[in-house]
Amino acid sequence: MNTRKQQLAAFNRLLDIMDDLREQCPWDKKQTLQSLRHLTIEETYELADAILDNDLEEIKKELG
């Protein structure tokens, strides 16, 4: 298991990646509240299907 320090460093790296994507990714720049709404609903249905199928790998993928 990772130490708390390693976990915090990994989380900080995730936050840095998210900041970079928001600033530089063309796909992210094009998103609107309406496009995100549609995508979020679609992903939620895919997660629900994985849960009903008890497919742990697919659940991880959908949550990832």
pLDDT tens figures, 3-55? 999 999 999 999 999 999 989 999 888 999 998 999 999 999 999 999 999 99
3-state secondary structure of 3: coil
The pLDDT score that the predictor gives to residue 10 is 95
Per-residue b or e along 13-24, where b marks 16 or more CB atoms closer than 10 Å to that residue's CB: eeeeeeeeeeee
The pLDDT score that the predictor gives to residue 64 is 79
**Average of pLDDT values for 55-59?**
97
The pLDDT score that the predictor gives to residue 28 is 87
The pLDDT score that the predictor gives to residue 40 is 93
The pLDDT score that the predictor gives to residue 41 is 94
